[in-house]
Amino acid sequence: MPELPEVETMCRGIQGIVGRKIVNATRTACRQKPILITPRIDRFRRLVSGTTVREVARVGKRVVIWLDSESAIVVEPRMTGLVLVTTPPSQAYLRWRLDLSGTPVNELYYWDRRGLGNVRLLSAARFFELFGPPNLGPDALSVTASGYRQQLNRSKRTIKVALLDQRVVAGIGNLYAAEILHVAGIHPERRCDLLKKTQWEKLADATHEVLEEAIRYEGSTLSDGTYRNALNKQGSYQNHHRVYARAGTPCPTCNKGKIVRIVQSQRATFFCPCCQLKTTRR
C-alpha cells in the first residue's frame, strides 16, 4: 500500500501543478529515518528551480512529474507515503517539499510515516531504462488476457504470487490481487500453467473492473488510517472490499462460504473457498 488506485488518485489530485514553475525544492527537517532523495538536495534544487511542470503521470505505483527540461521527478510512496497539495497529516513525517509559482497550487508535499519511500530526479533516458521493459510489465489498467497468458502460461508460480511481480504487470499489490482473483473466481493458489483461456479472460476483465472501481472511490484507507488523497481526505473503497481483511465473515458474492485467510510468500491472502475453487470442476 499504496497500490495503483491510490497512486492514480494522488496523480489526479495534483494535476493543478501542471504549468507551474518550480521555485524551490527542500528536504524538510525531520527527526525520523531519512528517506532517499537523489541527487543530493542542493543539486536537486539547482536542477529543478526555474523549470515548469509539463505533465503529471503514473508509472506502476509511482507518481511521475515531468518537467520542461525533459527530466522527471519520480515519487515512490511505498508503504506509507503520501503526495499532497494541502497541509500534511502532521509535520513530524514531512520529508520533502516543492515550492511553485502561481495558483491554485503553490506547494507540493511528500509525507511518509515509515520513511520507506523515495524521491528521485531522473533524466528521460534513465527513467525509461528503469521503468521500461523488462523491469516493468504492462500497466494493470491496460493489461489484456493475451498479455497475461504470454507472460505466465508456462509459469509454475501460484497466480496470486505472480500478480505481485511488477515485471509481469505494473501496479497490483497484495490488497488488489486478492480482490481481483475473487472477482475472477480464481483460487489464489492455482498454478499459472494450469489456468484455462477463459480464466485468463476473466482475470483481465476483473483486473480492470476492480482497479477502475477502486479509483472511483479514491482508493482504500485501511484501519491504520495512513492513506489519504492529495487533499488529505480518506479513500472509501475499503467499504467495498469483497475479501481483503474479511477473514471469517460471510462471502458477499455467494453468501455461502466464509472468507479464509492464508499466507503466501509471507503475505496474507484472502479468498472465498466456494467462489474460488482450487481445482476446476469437470
What's the CATH fold of domain 145-240?
A: Helicase, Ruva Protein; domain 3 (1.10.8)
Neighbouring residues of 98: CB distance < 8 A, sequence distance ≥ 6 = 17, 22, 24, 25, 26, 48, 73, 107, 108
Does the active-site annotation cover 3?
yes
What nine digits make up the cell of 30? 525531520
CATH 3.20.190.10 fits 4-131, yes or no: yes
CA 208/CA 258 separation, integer angstroms: 25
Instruction: Report the pLDDT value the prediction gives residue 282, as an integer from 0 to 100.
Output: 41
CA-to-CA separations, 248 to 32, 142, 225, 239, 278, in angstroms, rounded: 37, 33, 22, 17, 19
Cell numbers standing for residue 138: 504492462
Q: What is the distance of C-alpha 272 from the center of its chain? A: 24
First-to-final CA distance of the chain: 38
Cell reading at 76? 515512490
* C-alpha span between 236 and 239 (Å, rounded): 6
To the query of whether residue 246 is one of the catalytic residues in this protein, the response is no
**Given this model, what pLDDT does residue 241 score?**
98
Residue 280 banded pLDDT, cuts 50, 70, 90: low
Domain ranges of the chain: 4-131, 145-240
Q: Give catalytic status of residue 267 as yes or no.
A: yes
Is the pLDDT assigned to residue 106 strictly greater than 60?
A: yes
Q: Can you count the helices (H) and strands (E) in the chain?
A: 7, 11
Q: Which of 2, 5, 77, 88 is catalytic?
A: 2
% pLDDT > 90, the chain: 95
* CB 7, CB 77: distance < 8 Å: yes
pLDDT for residue 279 = 77
Residue 1 has pLDDT above 80, yes or no: no
Angstrom CA distances, 268 to 106, 180, 280, stand at 40, 15, 23
Mean pLDDT of 153-180: 97
Q: Is the pLDDT of residue 281 over 90?
A: no
Q: How confident is the model over 22-51, as pLDDT tens digits?
A: 999 999 999 998 999 999 999 999 999 999
Is 2 part of the annotated catalytic residue set?
Answer: yes
Q: Which of 20, 61, 97, 228 is flagged as catalytic?
A: 61
- Proportion of the chain above pLDDT 70, given as a percent: 99
Q: What is the pTM of this model?
A: 0.96
Q: Which of 78, 252, 267, 273 is catalytic?
A: 267
